[in-house]
Amino acid sequence: MNFTIKTSALQNLTTSCLVLGVFQNKNLPDSTAQVDKALKRQLSKIIDAGDISGTAGQSLLIHNPAGIRAKRIMLVGLGKKNELDRKKYVAALKNTAAALAKYSLADALLTLAELPVKEMDAGKRYQLLAQVLENSTYRYNHTKSTKGKKPALKKVDVSLSDKSERAAARKGLDIGSCVARGMAVAREMGNLPANICTPTYLGEQAQALGKNNRLLKTRVLSEAQMRRMGMGSLLSVGHGSDQESRLIVMEYNGASERTKPNVIVGKGITFDTGGISLKPGNAMDEMKFDMCGAASVLGTMTALCALKPKINVIGVIAAAENMPSGRATKPGDIVTSMSGKTIEVLNTDAEGRLVLCDALTYVERYKPKSVIDIATLTGACIVALGDVNTGLMSNNDDLADKLFHHGQEVVDTCWRLPMSEEYQRQLDSNFADIANIGGPKAGTITAACFLSRFTESYPWAHLDIAGTAWLSGKAKGATGRPVPLLMEYLLSN
């Protein structure tokens, strides 16, 4: 999608549709100051007639407005002016995107980035506008014989009355557009069925990204290579599958070699049956989404390659398929991780932490500034936080605070859960250094406690995206979260 900043008076700009906001008190925002008085009176009459009240979620299309070059005007409800915060702003943008798609408009002129959003600067307003509008054009077609109609919207002009904000607005649009591209990759990888999106396929996608970007170096480790490195925990998860496991390493080098990298590690279970601890059949098809942590890493690396910031980032994907068979790991088996710690596998459906722990040991070699792992790790996180907030746990308060703050900034929110020593005791084992589950209580927290045993040499945070990575029901599909959160954190460095 092409985003262009326009500073001319709105009535002088040619567009298929001019989008204006309306507050619930039937007042037009200050951004309409660029509209001449005659048109303003016309719009006020329409609003006073009650065709639109300004309630959030409303939209009204006006054809052939007089005294303006736009072919149409779309009025969008914003709710109460004094309540317009980031979440309501994003909701208005999503409503606008849906309305534009409904009318199959190829281009539009938006004034919404000039709205007075609480505690939000120009850069972020333009960033979220580009991110939401471009993300709205994603469609899944890969496995459909009849491809769905491609979104018509290709060109978006964005009004800017304060020319001193031009640089911030342009930067925001560029970041938002690149984040949306990363989200599209994450959504596509998550939505693909497991008979296509295998560990090998993930490795191929990472290699393809590396071939097309000079700043990215990609390596894909085979099972034989991982075996030589002692990754017995990761390899144990794929024992029951005919699909080989992979460790995928992507090195984005936008800064000097002396600059410490930030590392992101994704859980890539391309399908999770639960293994010998077999899951119920109901909704098991959604276990293709169990690699959404890996998808978010691939999406974030895609966004970085598009934006080309001067930072260093390592993206690691621990990929495996968890299947039952005569070769599969059994409850009670003991495996040895790359760190040398032994693990008693009490439940083979707690497999995400088994692949992640070896990846978290592997990344020590980079002497990282920070490490964030992203995983659809526990159903308990859905019980605790639903599909609103991503679960956040960390061994470093500063890192946790930054992630929380950045999530609020881009409306990709997370919520921190405790991870104190009392929870660690639930992982005690009579037969190994650690058990892979800690019983029915505090399952999200004890999963993070398990991972923390392998992250003692660097600042680390764990994002449990089990509730936020995909939607169920009629809107079933991957969301692309937490690519916006990850990008906001990485760019802040």
Q: What is the C-alpha to C-alpha distance for residues 220 and 24, in angstroms, rounded to an integer?
A: 54
Q: Count of H helices and E strands in the chain?
A: 14, 19
C-alpha separations of 163 from 4, 122, 158, 166, 177 in Å: 14, 11, 13, 5, 21
> Is 125 part of the annotated catalytic residue set?
no
- Pairing, β 312-322 against β 262-272: parallel
Find out whether 56 and 50 touch, Cβ atoms under 8 Å: no
Among residues 81, 279, 369, 416, which one is catalytic? 279
The residue among 369, 376, 316 whose CA lies nearest residue 490 is 369
What is the rounded distance in angstroms from the CA atom of residue 199 to the CA atom of residue 203?
6
Amino acid in position 61: L
The separation between CA 37 and the C-alpha centre of its own chain, rounded to angstroms, equals 43
Distances (CA, A) of 173 to 74, 170, 217, 372: 22, 5, 27, 26
- Dihedral sign from CA coordinates of 366, 453, 406, 297: positive
Element (H, E) at 170: helix 166-191
Q: Could you tell me the sign of the dihedral formed by the alpha carbons of 481, 438, 415, 459, in that order?
A: negative
Are 490 and 311 spatial neighbours (Cβ–Cβ below 8 Å)? yes
Residue 349: Cβ within 10 Å count: 18
**How far is Cα 182 from Cα 399, in angstroms, rounded to an integer?**
23
219 catalytically annotated: no
Q: Is the peptide bond before 482 cis (omega within 30 degrees of 0)?
A: yes
The secondary element (H helix, E strand) that includes residue 264 is strand 262-272
Catalytic residue among 6, 246, 288, 353: 353
Cα–Cα dist 8/34, whole Å: 8
- Residue type at 138? Y
What the block records as the tokens of 440 is: 């029915």
Structure token pair of residue 402: 């930054």
Identify whether the C-beta of residue 100 lies closer than 8 Å to the C-beta of residue 129. Answer: no
CA–CA separation, 445 and 91 (whole Å): 31
Using alpha carbons only, give the angle 142, 107, 129 rounded to the nearest 5 degrees. Answer: 80
Give the start-end residues of each E strand in 378-459. 390-394, 414-416, 434-435
Give the catalytic positions in this structure.
279, 353
